[in-house]
Amino acid sequence: EIVMTQSPATLSASPGERATLSCRASQSFSNNLAWYQQKPGQAPRLLIYGASTRATGIPARFSGSGSGTEFTLTISSLQSEDFAVYYCQQYYNWPKTFGQGTKLEIK
């Protein structure tokens, strides 16, 4: 099983700032990595797949990068609606494991 580790657990930032979230995999794979956003009381929403491809309707301020074991989600200029919990997930093999999440909170 591939273990996904996200950091930091909590990130405090202000609207307009840039946010960088990290995800590390316990074994290497190419780009089978997704990012999800979850707001309270809602199901997760796919943001990024293929490590860097934005899902339908996702604003350009969200970008993903990385390969191998190190991946990054960057939000270029935080909007109020971006404060949420973010999860990474590998879908290179089964089980399709998630990271433990990063809570992005308003500073």
Partner 1 sequence: EVQLVQSGGGLIQPGRSLRLSCAASGFTFDDYVIHWVRQVPGKGLEWVSGINWNENNIAYADSVKGRFTISRDNAKNSLYLQMNSLRAEDMALYYCVKENYWGAFDIWGQGTMVTVSS
Binding partner 1 (rule: CB under 8 A), the pick from 71, 82, 89, 104 is: 89
- Grouping H, G, I as helix, E, B as strand and the rest as coil, residue 82 is helix
Distance separating alpha carbons of residues 15 and 83, to the nearest angstrom: 9
Distances (CA, A) of 62 to 21, 77, 94, 100, 107: 11, 9, 27, 20, 19
* Contacting partner 1 within 54-83 (CB under 8 A): 55
**Of 6 and 78, which has the nearer Cβ to partner 1?**
6
List binders of partner 1 among 8-27 (CB under 8 A): none
Binding site for partner 1 (CB under 8 A): 32, 34, 36, 38, 43-46, 49-50, 55, 87, 89, 91, 94-101
